[in-house]
Amino acid sequence: MDFNIPLDEWTANKNLKKFIKDKIDLCKPKNVYLCSGTKEEYDELMNQMVIDGKAIKLNDQKRPNSYFFKSDPEDVARVEERTFICSEKEIDAGPTNNWHNPNEMKIKLLNLFDGSMQGRTMYVIPFSMGPIGSDKSHIGIEITDSAYVVCNMHIMTRMGKKVIDHLKDEDFIECMHSVGKPLQENEKDTLWPCDPENRYIVHFPEEKSIWSYGSGYGGNALLGKKCFALRIASTMAKKDGWLAEHMLILGITNPEGEKKYFVAAFPSACGKTNMAMLNPSLPGWKIECIGDDIAWMKISEDGRLWAINPEAGFFGVAPGTSYDTNYNAMKSLEKNSIFTNVALTQDNDVWWEGMTKNEPENMINWLGKKHSKEEKAAHPNARFTSPAHQCPIIDKDFENPKGVPISAIIFGGRRDDVVPLVYEAFDWQHGTFLGASVSSQMTAAAKGNIGKLRHDPFAMLPFCGYNMADYFDHWLGFDKKMTSKNLPKIFYVNWFLKDENQKGFIWPGFSDNIRVLKWMFERVDNKVGFKKTAIGNIPNIEDLNVDGLNLSKNTLEKLLEIDLDKWEKEVLELKNYFSIFKDKLPEGIIDQLNKLNERVLKEKSKRCEPSYKE
């Protein structure tokens, strides 16, 4: 077997050498490439993909060192129905996951991977999720036959020799990936090899391994991200008493210079990247970014919750991103970035819906055809991959192995009705219930019915590696683990309310979300008023700074409205949903649901809400 460097020179870790040798025997690649993680390696791989016609180098004047890829039209997003949790017992995967018997699945995978890399290079990527050496970080080894995956992992993770040097005798998470397209002798490769008919994204939580076959896109293939940092990590976190969450992490500083850190969980394509890099419309307020998708949180000696971002880059939704809506994301992707399924302009730059008011002329759309007004130029789940350190507001503690202390936890989803702009949980148990009750209209981030409302507890529905009922239990008991008196406050937000005609959003969103963050910031210090309602505490209209927004009184009322009839239905809907967990549903959730029901009915009978002002 032809190696770029002798294996023994590259690593002394016996388990790693065995892992690599076993997978060579199984996948039968043409040769093996052990990654170093250097810029030269990245450039060489990209150059080769340009030569092979798989990538287009973008205009170096406009977007230095950046590349365009278009995927197979069948391979454009995560495939949840092909994602499996293969725990020993079915009950440990729970009703929200696809479970499969681990032995049967192993046989299926061994058959699929047998010879799957024939005619291709097998790349070995050592990577660290989290700063190398942090007690919160964990190491993975991804074996893949996709150079596109290697280049994305260069940006999304800390990877290469520095990780191998650190690994020594430590354990690592085994991540196996193949696009599932072996090449016969003299067979010409396709531009985006994949096997859409046979996609398997499989997790073995007990042996902490991941096997992904048939897809080259995003979370299906960049195995450090959803597969490791959420599905496998959530099972590790449950066992070891920490949290692995689908959350952004941001720093927020008020005009007086006081700084806090918040985390927020919204389902896929519901605004995490945007909020993580928010450019505040209120003078004097500052946001800094730690992460835009995943948070690992552990309790430190001070009894508080501290968070790190396990990733090193952003894999962000392109459509809708503009200098107006997300200035800092646009700055982050000005160079050294990878673009997948966006449109190509005639001067070899990228474009997507929402980037500019006017469409450039003569574009090639994401399918490689001449763009016409009838079709989308970019796929709705087109993505950019950009280094986090290019974000102009990256936080100074982004690389801090300790992480940052968390003062507030925010949940949210895409709801055109029912859920108000913002409300606050009464306490930790109620806050956990808010997380459990997240539901959201589906987006293009996963294959499915776009726009359909679905329950997505904690925005973790596709990402929880174990029984969601046990996950609720883990959260319900987590307050007892934090010995600090100041537990994070918990909030729920909805940027996506629509008016009766369902035309536009009634809240301006984006930069103006700082107005809601300001209220939360001041609630953490008990410095601003609130109104107690049946569902939680909401701002009084005068507690929310809406100066200069030109919102009518009617709109403001609608933004903060609690329609008790609709909430009565919402409670029934939640009760119905939670019944899928049968007798595993924790008492704490049942108790919170009953309390919510009682409060709603009581308020309905009074039809007048008590108001508290501090």
State the residues that interact with ligand GTP by CB under 6 A: 266, 268-274, 292-293, 316-317, 319-320, 325, 445, 495, 505, 509-510, 513
In SS3 terms, 342-385 reads as CEECCCCCEECCCCCCCCCCCCECCCCCECCCCCCCCCCCCEEE
Give me the least distance between CB of 102 and ligand GTP, in Å please: 29
Give me the least distance between CB of 262 and ligand GTP, in Å please: 15
CA 96/CA 466 separation, integer angstroms: 9
Which listed option, ligand SPV, Mn ion, ligand GTP, none, makes contact with residue 219 (CB within 5 to 8 Å by class)? Answer: ligand SPV
* CB neighbours of residue 130 within 10 Å: 23
Residue whose CB is less far from ligand GTP, 246 or 298? 246
483 φ, ψ to 5°?
-90, -10
Residue whose CB is less far from ligand SPV, 225 or 518? 225
Residue whose CB is less far from ligand SPV, 304 or 455? 455
Span of 62-70, 91-99, 112-120, 264-272 interacting with Mn ion by CB under 5 A: 264-272
Give me the least distance between CB of 228 and ligand SPV, in Å please: 11
Cα distances (angstroms) measured from residue 73 to each of 81, 221, 236, 310, 579: 18, 16, 35, 30, 37
Cα distances (angstroms) measured from residue 391 to each of 83, 188, 224, 328, 332: 32, 39, 21, 6, 5
Give me the least distance between CB of 517 and ligand GTP, in Å please: 11
Residue whose CB is less far from ligand SPV, 13 or 220? 220
Which listed option, ligand GTP, ligand SPV, Mn ion, none, makes contact with residue 505 (CB within 5 to 8 Å by class)? Answer: ligand GTP
Question: Structure tokens of 513?
Answer: 């979300």
Which listed option, Mn ion, ligand SPV, ligand GTP, none, makes contact with residue 529 (CB within 5 to 8 Å by class)? Answer: none
Which listed option, ligand GTP, ligand SPV, Mn ion, none, makes contact with residue 319 (CB within 5 to 8 Å by class)? Answer: ligand GTP
CA 520/CA 466 separation, integer angstroms: 31
Catalytic residues: 270
* CB neighbours of residue 480 within 10 Å: 8
Which listed option, Mn ion, ligand GTP, ligand SPV, none, makes contact with residue 320 (CB within 5 to 8 Å by class)? Answer: ligand GTP
Which listed option, ligand GTP, Mn ion, ligand SPV, none, makes contact with residue 497 (CB within 5 to 8 Å by class)? Answer: none
Nearest to 391 by CA among 531, 540, 251, 545: 251
Residue whose CB is less far from Mn ion, 29 or 267? 267
CA 169/CA 184 separation, integer angstroms: 38
Length of the chain: 614
Give me the least distance between CB of 460 and ligand GTP, in Å please: 12
Give me the least distance between CB of 320 and ligand GTP, in Å please: 2
Span of 48-56, 288-296, 514-522, 550-558 interacting with Mn ion by CB under 5 A: 288-296
Q: In this chain, which residue has its C-beta nearest to Mn ion? A: 293
Which listed option, ligand SPV, Mn ion, ligand GTP, none, makes contact with residue 310 (CB within 5 to 8 Å by class)? Answer: none
Which listed option, Mn ion, ligand SPV, ligand GTP, none, makes contact with residue 78 (CB within 5 to 8 Å by class)? Answer: ligand SPV
Strand 439-441 with 537-538, pairing: unpaired
Q: Which residues bind ligand SPV (CB under 6 A)?
A: 78, 218-219, 225-226, 268, 293, 315, 445
Residue whose CB is less far from ligand SPV, 372 or 449? 449
Q: Provide CB contacts within 8 A for 223, sequence distance 6+.
A: 140, 142, 175, 177, 210, 212
Residue whose CB is less far from ligand SPV, 226 or 599? 226
2 φ, ψ to 5°?
-90, 115
Using rule CB under 5 A, residue 456 touches Mn ion: no
365 φ, ψ to 5°?
-80, 180
Per CB under 5 A, the list member of 41, 75, 195, 293 interacting with Mn ion is: 293
Largest CA distance in the chain: 78
- Say if CB 584 and CB 469 are below 8 A apart: yes
Give me the least distance between CB of 418 and ligand GTP, in Å please: 17
Looking at residue 479, its amino acid is D
Looking at residue 451, its amino acid is G
- Say if CB 229 and CB 311 are below 8 A apart: yes
Residue whose CB is less far from ligand GTP, 529 or 539? 539
- By the criterion CB under 5 A, which residues form the site for Mn ion? 268, 293
